[in-house]
Amino acid sequence: MQNGFYSAAGGMVTQFSRLDNITNNLANLNTNGYKRQDLVIGDFLRIYQDKRDELPLDNQTKEAAKYTHRSVARVPQVIESYKDMSVGAFQRTDNTFDVALQEENLFFAVLTPNGIKLTRDGAFSLDDTGTLVTKEGNKVLSQDYANTGNFIQFSSDAVNIELDKNGQFSYLVTGNEKFNPAESLLLVEPENLSKLKPMGNNLFEVDAADSLNPVKESGSVSQGFLEKSNVNAIKSMVGMIETQRLVGMYQKVMDTQMNEMNKEAIDKIANARA
Side chain identity at 18, as an amino acid letter? R
Buried-exposed string 231-259: b where 16+ CB fall within 10 A, e elsewhere: beeeebeebbeebeebbeebeebbeebee
How confident is the model at residue 184, as a pLDDT? 94
Q: With beta carbons less than 8 A apart as the criterion, state whether 6 and 202 touch.
A: no
How confident is the model at residue 35, as a pLDDT? 93
- DSSP result, 105-145: T-EEEEEETTEEEEE---B-EE-TTSBEE-TT-PEEBBTTH
How confident is the model at residue 49, as a pLDDT? 61
**Cα separation of 35 and 25, whole Å?**
8
How confident is the model at residue 273, as a pLDDT? 53
Indicate yes or no: pTM above 0.85: no
Q: What are the domain boundaries of the chain?
A: 3-85+232-273, 90-227
Backbone angles phi, psi at 195, to 5 degrees: -95, 0
Q: With beta carbons less than 8 A apart as the criterion, state whether 41 and 236 touch.
A: no
How confident is the model at residue 65, as a pLDDT? 56
Q: With beta carbons less than 8 A apart as the criterion, state whether 51 and 247 touch.
A: no
How confident is the model at residue 71, as a pLDDT? 47
How confident is the model at residue 187, as a pLDDT? 95
C-alpha 156, offset from chain centre? 38
Which residues of the chain register pLDDT less than 70? 1-4, 43-74, 260-274
How confident is the model at residue 53, as a pLDDT? 60
